């Protein structure tokens, strides 16, 4: 007689999200295990060291500057969530309420995935991840690229360069990854044709 286990798989403690147009150069487990200092989630602050995009840093001007009141504006291309804390604090309900309030104004939440958690920082504080977790040529200076754990292909408002061109130019390992993906696609197609 087979005995069924009454044990359930453990609920994950954290959830990590990484944008698809990003190259990860580090073990994401480090991010997964990171101490968020009691905060619900962690995001990397937007880079502020690339001089040519200074005029596009909307978070340093007007409404956002006043609303943030000295807090950083965070990029949403990579983040980690403490799921237990998220549930325990009712962060989802708070975010829904803030969203419902802001969605009445068509000018609000232009970049929903970033604007919502940044706007709600007063109610749901954000743990700022170390800058090396997300380097983006558009917003960050060259000095952080070498030690970057991820490289994000943020759209540059000055050049509007296609992401694949940008990847080939700024990520040395990109061409190797691209070849590997093309080889895998070809293999899958040929195996599918044989069936």
Name the 3-class secondary structure at 40: coil
Quote the pLDDT of residue 195: 66
Domain definitions of the chain by residue range: 14-154, 161-195
Quote the pLDDT of residue 115: 92
Whether the model pTM is above 0.85: no
Ranges of the chain with pLDDT below 50: 1-10
Quote the pLDDT of residue 74: 97
Name the 3-class secondary structure at 49: coil
Quote the pLDDT of residue 104: 82
Quote the pLDDT of residue 125: 97
Cβ-based burial of 117 (10 A; exposed 0-12, middle 13-18, buried ≥19): buried
Asked if 115 and 64 touch (Cβ cutoff 8 Å), the reply is: no
Fold of 14-154: Spore Coat Polysaccharide Biosynthesis Protein SpsA; Chain A (3.90.550)
Q: Which ranges constitute the DSSP H helices of 19-61?
A: 29-32
Quote the pLDDT of residue 32: 87
């Amino acid at each position: 007689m087979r005995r069924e286990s009454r044990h359930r798989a453990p609920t994950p403690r954290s959830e990590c999200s990484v944008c698809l147009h990003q190259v990860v150069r580090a073990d994401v487990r480090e991010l997964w295990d990171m101490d968020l200092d009691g905060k619900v989630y962690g995001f990397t602050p937007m880079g502020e060291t690339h001089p040519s995009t200074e005029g596009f840093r909307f978070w340093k001007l007007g409404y956002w500057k006043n609303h943030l009141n000295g807090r950083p504006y965070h990029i949403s291309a990579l983040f980690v969530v403490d799921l237990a804390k998220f549930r325990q604090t009712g962060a989802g309900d708070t975010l829904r309420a803030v969203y419902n309030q802001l969605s009445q104004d068509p000018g609000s939440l232009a970049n929903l995935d970033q604007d919502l958690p940044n706007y709600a920082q007063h109610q749901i504080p954000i743990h700022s991840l170390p800058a090396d977790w997300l380097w983006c040529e558009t917003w960050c200076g060259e000095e952080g690229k070498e030690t970057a754990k991820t490289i994000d292909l943020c759209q540059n408002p000055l050049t509007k360069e296609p992401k694949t061109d940008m990847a080939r130019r700024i990520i040395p390992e990109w061409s190797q990854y691209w070849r590997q993906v093309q080889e895998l696609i070809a293999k899958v197609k040929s195996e599918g044709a044989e069936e």
